[in-house]
Structure 1
Amino acid sequence: MTDEYKAINWNRIEDMIDKLTWEKLVEQFWTDTRIPVSNDINDWNTLSKSEQDMIAKVFGGLTLLDTLQSQDGIEALKQSSLTQHEEAVYNNIEFMESMHAKSYSAIFSTLNTKSEIDDIFEWTHSNAMLQKKAKIINDIYQNGTELQIKVGSVLLESFLFYSGFYAPLYYLGNSKLTNVAEIIKLILRDESVHGTYIGYKFQIGYNQLNKTDQEELKNWAYDLLFKLYENEIDYTSYLYDDIGWTEDVAVFLRYNANKALQNLGFDPLFPDTAEDVDPIIMNGISTGTSNHDFFSQVGNGYLVGMVESMEDSDYDMWVK
């Protein structure tokens, strides 16, 4: 008997969330070449050497995490796809994670010299705290269960990126590096959908477990988050101590750690709320993008997706 190869049929949808997410991701499609980063060179030249060094390392770290997600994370998620449409959504996410990683190189090539760029990438390969969080997540991708892989992915998408997102959002709020921030906001918009979707898929599997297995997995997820948080605080201190931002970034981290837990359907771990985060940062997350492409609406305004724990009907309302 020959094996049947099954064509994907988008007219017969098993989970409507797959279709809605696909449409949302296509609607949001963008490329780094549409954003005129060169317009930020004057702003860049007004920054201190400490600030320039911090930004370079921030984007180097984000590049490494996006590379991990595009090369290993999404591939691991595909192994547990419930439908062909779910796998198609992961293919879309995988491509955009590669786009994110490339966009940082577009920023580097505009603002940094060749030798500075080489130093940035050498730093990403050797920084112990950056490598530690990548190793923790990748070990889960390589050896974890299907649901553990989804937990690791959501914590990466919805938490670990945010120590890096803080800096460009802060400069945006002070009318600096606005085009660099435009790229970050487009990435934020994508990551919001990615984290929400993968969290939704996690909850499907989690709700099928018995109470004992649910409790064991939940405890494992909280332990993982706390281990990542301890390392992330050290990483944040390394990046931001010299310019005095460490505690403000830490508040932002805790806020987003809670959002990651909510994506998984779990209760928050930290007391920090949106009211505790610097309003400049919250404004940068929620306001619309500039439209740099006169032939497309891709960059013309959005709200970062809500990341509360959601039922299907809530997701349908959000994705529209």
Structure 2
Amino acid sequence: MTIQTVNWNITEDEFDEYVWDKATAQFWLDTRVPVSNDLKDWRTLSQTEKDVINKVVGGLALLDTLQSEEGVNVMREDSLTRKEVAVINNFLMMESIHAKSYGTILTSLNENSVINDVYEWMNNDPRMQYKVQRINEIYQNEDNLKKKVASVYLEGILYYNNFFTPLWYRGQNKLANLSEIIKLVIRDESVHGTYLGYKFQLSFAKLAADEQADFKIWMYDLLDDLLENEFAFTEEIYAPIGLVEDVKQFVRYNANKSLQNMGFPSRYDNASIEDINPIVMNGISTETANHDFFSQVGAGYLMGNVEAMDEEDYAF
């Protein structure tokens, strides 16, 4: 068999090159964000608040481990172009960086005994395990279109439950470096979700009308199943700090965004960006908090002079 090189001078799909440029310009590393500088804020939090933050960060580590080890890999099987494979390879590396970043957060703010407890919790919590087992079951056993839906739901909905708390504290000018990592992850995930949603639409359009109807039944049943577990998880995690309803609204908003990425209408009423807790939206739009060029690197540190994050970036 003759191996043929990828010819980047040939355009098969302009969106491949656009997303490649966007994704590579956003490259970052957790080691450039000094989370330990947040220790002053961390020490002012109650033990309950610390427990919630550790659990949501630990949960993200588990979800991103699944995505980096299984989820992104299976996306390559249905690639429509050679450059799409390159884009997905970039996504894979960034998911690994995300997973490592959550470990950096936990290590920077906690003693080893606490970190071990968080890992024990995330590996055994029934709600967390339900999420990863349900999604991985699709990755391992279903067709490529269903795999894309599972990936969009994971990155576009399930992650965002756990993103809420760091953004909420950032909106109050606390935990700046922890939240900068979260905002960098969000910027990546907005690209990933939009790209996979676009690729989904290309393949979904080729299905016959009856096949599309059957697929949508499966897709919405999966969404209902995941959100039932997600809302139960929200009640367990966020009740101690009184944010259950705010988080549920955030999840519904991101569920609508994920459906829109795949070409479907919003499903949840009263879940627009105006309905999100304004403190969280302030956390999303807050610009980088650089103190100097050497010890502090926030969202302004992005190769290629990418501008600080705002609401438009969040919606990609």
Which interval holds the TM-score relative to the shorter structure?
Answer: over 0.9
State the partner residue of 2:310. Answer: 303
- Rounded to whole Å, the distance in 2 between the matches of 1:283 and 1:175 is 9
Compare 264-273 and 88-97 and name the one that shifted more: 264-273
User: Are 2:45 and 1:47 equivalent residues in the alignment?
Assistant: yes
CA distance in 2, matches of 1:25, 1:138: 25
Q: Shift in Å at residue 293 of structure 1?
A: 4.5
d(CA) in 2 for partners of 1:11, 1:288: 37
The equivalent of 2:282 in structure 1 is 283
Which of 61, 64, 76 pairs up with 2:62?
64
Deviation at 1:284, TM superposition (A): 2.2
What amino acid is the match of 2:309?
Y
Q: Which amino acid aligns with 2:169?
A: Y
1:177: Cα distance to partner? 0.3
Instruction: Say if 1:297 and 1:122 are closer, same or farther in 2 by CA, change over 3 A.
Output: closer
> Residue 313 of structure 1 aligns with which residue?
none
Are 1:223 and 2:230 counterparts? no
Identity percentage of aligned residues: 49
**Alignment TM-score, normalising by the size of structure 2:** 0.93
Q: What residue identity is the alignment partner of 1:22?
A: W
Contact 2:169/2:283 (<8 A) preserved: no
Matching residue of 1:115? 113
Q: 1:242, 1:65 → 2: CA distance?
A: 23
Aligned match of 2:190: 192
SS of match in other structure, 2:43: helix
TM-score, with normalisation over the residues of structure 1? Answer: 0.92
Q: 5+ unaligned residues in a row in structure 2: which ranges?
A: 291-295
Structure 2 Cα separation of the partners of residues 47 and 172 of structure 1: 13
Alignment match of 1:136 (pick from 134, 137, 143)? 134
Which of 6, 9, 21 matches 1:8? 6
Query: By how many angstroms is 1:233 displaced?
Result: 0.3
Q: 2: CA distance between counterparts of 1:116 and 1:65?
A: 20
Instruction: Specify whether residues 104 and 53 from structure 1 end up closer, same or farther in structure 2 by C-alpha distance, changes over 3 A only.
Output: same
CA separation in 2, counterparts of 1:154 and 1:289? 28
- Tell me what 1:312 maps to: none
Q: CA deviation at 1:120?
A: 0.7
In the TM superposition, what whole-angstrom CA distance separates every residue of 1:216-268 from its partner, at most 9, and x where no partner exists?
A: 11121111111100000011111111111111111111111111111111111
The offset of 1:286, in angstroms, is 3.5
Q: CA deviation at 1:297?
A: 4.3
Name which of 236, 243, 259 aligns with 2:234: 236
CA offset digits 1:108-161 (Å, max 9, x no partner): 111011111111111111100000010110011001111000000000111000
User: Do 2:171 and 2:284's aligned partners in 1 also have CA atoms closer than 8 Å?
Assistant: no
Point out where structure 1 has 5 or more consecutive residues left out of the alignment: 309-317
User: In the alignment, is the contact (CA less than 8 A) between 2:284 and 2:309 conserved in 1?
Assistant: no
CA distance in 1, matches of 2:46, 2:219: 40
Deviation at 1:304, TM superposition (A): 5.4
Deviation at 1:288, TM superposition (A): 3.4
Amino acid at match of 1:205: S
Which of 76, 79, 87 lines up with 2:77 in the alignment?
79
* Change in 2 beyond 3 A, CA 1:297/1:54: closer
In structure 2, the residue matched to 1:100 is 98
Cα distance in 2 for residues equivalent to 1:209 and 1:54 = 44
Question: For the Cα contact (< 8 Å) 1:260–1:307, is it kept in 2?
Answer: no
Q: 1 CA distance for matches of 2:91 and 2:289?
A: 23
Q: Report the AA paired with residue 198 of structure 1.
A: L
Partner of 2:293: none
Tell me how large the CA RMSD over aligned residues is. Answer: 1.7
| Map of 1:19 onto structure 2 | 17
* Structure-2 separation of matches of 1:12 and 1:288: 38
1:161 aligned residue: 159
Amino acid at match of 1:35: V
CA contact (8 A) 1:43 1:176 kept: yes
Q: In 2, Cα distance between the equivalents of 1:306 and 1:180? A: 19
Deviation at 1:282, TM superposition (A): 1.9
